[in-house]
């Protein structure tokens, strides 16, 4: 049995692949990932930019679209939607076999909309209606403007993956948006699914930078601990919010848990374990979205055991120590959210620029 299968069958955690490119679909490699235990797929503007720019797999379709005088941005979305539809087809058996828990493929609204609630709602709705498959997740960033968009989409019965969550306070707002959205929906709650993507490794990158600037022995001793501690506390928050009378009423109507999804789980600091953000966050009713190199490391030397609710008092103590040495975790989250939105926007803009140049070259040749 692969480690990916162990995660799900023994620990109740769903491993998803944090990448999507056309070559995976056409070569059969995506199906091989599924056979090994991958249960879902996530994508974002940066992933698609690398896919489109890094291979010739899209050239024929792009050339055809340019010849039809399709705008470059519309051509981009046509190519993205085709990849998503084909990936959804491959993942559909997982969706069916799991009763709709897994087998999802995520596509993100344009990053430029992250500060515009109404535009985000319109874009998310359009993607759901355009693709129109039950195992589609549309990703909405967890900005202040994204929170009401999440509630609106859930209130319409749409499946939403909330991305770029960096703080416990914003995570709490996302849970509330999901619950209140379910309460407002007058349809079959059992058909509504959501995951909340809590970003992990980037937290250590930013906190470690600040700890090194502080430079005291106590501060330096806290490096590499903030991200896992925060994720463990997020899991506790998840357990607290999805119990009690309010949740029981929704559950009686068929509502599903909004599972925490651990995102950004590849280790950025080479001095840390390459599985730091995987082995420490294993537990039921969670998702971990993994890039290829992390999957390879997991299969090679990973340990599969329930860990997500181990050492909660240690995690609480870590947060107290971080505050004592001068780390403001809310400010860390604010910076990381701004950087995340900016990075996705930059990837999209650079890709559109590269496609415009390629389109001009193709037009000159015809």
Do 71 and 119 contact (CB within 8 A), yes or no?
no
Closest to 307 (Cα-Cα) out of 332, 278, 333, 330: 278
**139 annotated active-site:** yes
Q: Which residue has the tokens 């993994």?
A: 290
Measured in degrees and rounded to the nearest 5, phi and psi for residue 150 equal -60, -50
In sequence order, what are the beta bridge partners of 137? 106
Task: Taking the CA atoms of 151, 152, 155 and 156 in sequence, report the sign of the dihedral they define.
Answer: negative
Q: Per the residue annotation, which of 3, 139, 232, 358 is the catalytic one?
A: 139
CB count, 10 Å around CB of 69? 7
Positions marked active-site: 139
């Amino acid at each position: 049995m692969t480690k990916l299968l162990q995660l799900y069958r023994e620990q109740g955690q769903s491993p998803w692949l944090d990448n999507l490119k056309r070559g995976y679909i056409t070569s059969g490699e995506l199906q091989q990932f599924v056979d090994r235990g991958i249960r879902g797929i996530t994508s974002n503007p940066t992933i698609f930019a690398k896919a489109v720019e890094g291979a010739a797999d899209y050239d024929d379709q792009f050339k055809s679209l340019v010849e039809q005088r399709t705008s470059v941005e519309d051509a981009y979305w046509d190519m993205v939607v085709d990849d998503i539809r084909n990936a959804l087809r491959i993942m559909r058996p997982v969706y069916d076999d799991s009763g709709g828990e897994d087998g999802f493929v995520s596509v993100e609204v344009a990053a430029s909309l992250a500060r515009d609630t109404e535009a985000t709602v319109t874009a998310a709705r359009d993607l759901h209606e355009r693709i129109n498959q039950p195992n589609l997740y549309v990703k909405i960033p967890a900005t202040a403007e994204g929170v009401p968009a999440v509630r609106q989409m859930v209130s319409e019965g749409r499946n939403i993956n909330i991305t770029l969550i960096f703080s416990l306070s914003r995570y709490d707002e996302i849970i509330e948006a999901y619950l209140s959205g379910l309460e407002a929906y007058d349809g079959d709650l059992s058909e509504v699914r959501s995951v909340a993507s809590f970003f992990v490794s980037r937290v250590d990158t930013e906190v470690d930078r600040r700890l090194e600037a502080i430079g005291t022995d106590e501060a330096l001793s806290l490096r590499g601990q903030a991200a896992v501690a925060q994720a463990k506390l997020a899991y506790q928050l998840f357990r607290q919010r999805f119990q009690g009378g309010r949740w029981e009423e929704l559950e009686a109507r068929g509502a599903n848990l909004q599972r925490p999804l651990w995102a950004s789980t590849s280790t950025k600091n080479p001095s840390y374990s390459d599985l730091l953000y995987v082995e420490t966050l294993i537990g039921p009713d969670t998702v971990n979205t993994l890039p290829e190199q992390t999957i390879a490391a997991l299969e090679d030397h990973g340990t599969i055991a329930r860990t997500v609710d181990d050492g909660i008092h240690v995690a609480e103590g870590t947060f107290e120590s971080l505050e004592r040495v001068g780390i403001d975790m809310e400010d860390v989250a604010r910076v990381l959210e701004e950087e995340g939105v900016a990075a996705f926007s930059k990837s999209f803009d650079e890709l559109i620029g590269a496609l415009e140049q390629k389109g001009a070259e193709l037009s000159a040749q015809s």
